[in-house]
Amino acid sequence: MPIATPEVYNEMLDRAKAGRFAYPAINVTSSQTLNAALRGFAEAESDGIVQISTGGAEFLGGQYSKDMVTGAVALAEYAHIIAEKYPVQIALHTDHCPKDKLDGYVRPLLALSEERVKAGQNPLFQSHMWDGSAETLADNLAVAQELLEQARRANIILEVEITPTGGEEDGVTHEINDELYTTVDDAIRTVEALGLGEKGRYLLAASFGNVHGVYKPGNVVLRPELLKELNDGVAAKFGKQSPFDFVFHGGSGSSEQEILTALENGVVKMNIDTDTQYAFTRPVAGHMFANYDGVLKVDGEVGNKKAYDPRTWGKLAEESMAARVLVAANNLRSAGNKIK
């Protein structure tokens, strides 16, 4: 199937919310990791989301120029071609973009998609994220209002992060403390600024103790039940039940019960990066250790071309990462729920 149209992406999110499941949103940094994500979704019979962070886009742009827009556009164009060979719907998304990178990343991409839409085409990406969690909430929402209007014109959904997620993600760092919990007042102020869909659809990355990075279960105190409090608080004031489409950030090391509670309370998208990075790299490391005398020209020997051929270890990496995507789809209950 081709990359999801705006209409299909909206249907995907509506189905997830109604069915209390979520889509794995897999960060990719290359054609290899993209193919691994697509393979995992196909094997899980799950539609899904593929996303590119600012750091991922810079890497994709090549280390000579490190141009984020070039990198993101190049992989998105590749994805539009290659995804047609996979029997699932895939949405393209850009991950965390802080204020100092908006002009070099999200704004140009929004403008590009707006021009495509004016020409009768679909947008290049289906959603973009504005990460204003380092700003005051007032400043965060002011920028979000501007971006939401531009996204609406381009038939794109905006993701907003209104309060901090702990840890570090592509240079955006927040301390792990009691501020990692969104309040009902934060949620109400968000609706007052962005509306309830009439100004454009948006996804909400609310904080319930989430932390980016690698943590063993129990090391991070998640309160996914807080999402129900946010929905209920806004519903009581504005009269719309379950108003938010929530995003789960920093989910590495989360328990199965924490994930299920988040799903029951309105999470439709869960970002997965750390775990898939490891899944991709682990078999490569194993191959290099097991075949060190082949991948290295030890003591003046010629090595083993079949051992150091990138396709040899690249296939192992793809298989391993795809398997981790399959696990994610099962955990998030999107497996078997693809649009027919």
Over the stretch 70-112, which tens digit does the pLDDT of each residue have?
A: 999 999 999 999 999 999 999 999 999 999 999 999 999 999 9
CB atoms within 10 A of CB 172: 21
What whole-number percentage of the chain has pLDDT above 70?
92
Report the catalytic residues. Answer: 95
**In the predicted model, what is the mean pLDDT of residues 5-20?**
98
Given pLDDT bands bounded at 50, 70 and 90, which one contains residue 251?
A: confident
CB of 49 within 8 A of CB of 90?
A: yes
pLDDT in tens, 20-76: 999 999 999 999 999 999 999 999 999 999 999 999 999 999 999 999 999 999 999
Measure CA of the first residue to CA of the last residue in the chain; give whole Å: 11
Mean pLDDT of the chain: 93
- Residue-wise pLDDT for 218-233, tens only, equals 556 788 999 999 999 9
DSSP state of 268: E
Question: Has residue 292 got a pLDDT over 50?
Answer: yes
The H or E element spanning position 90 is strand 90-94
- DSSP assigned state of 3: B
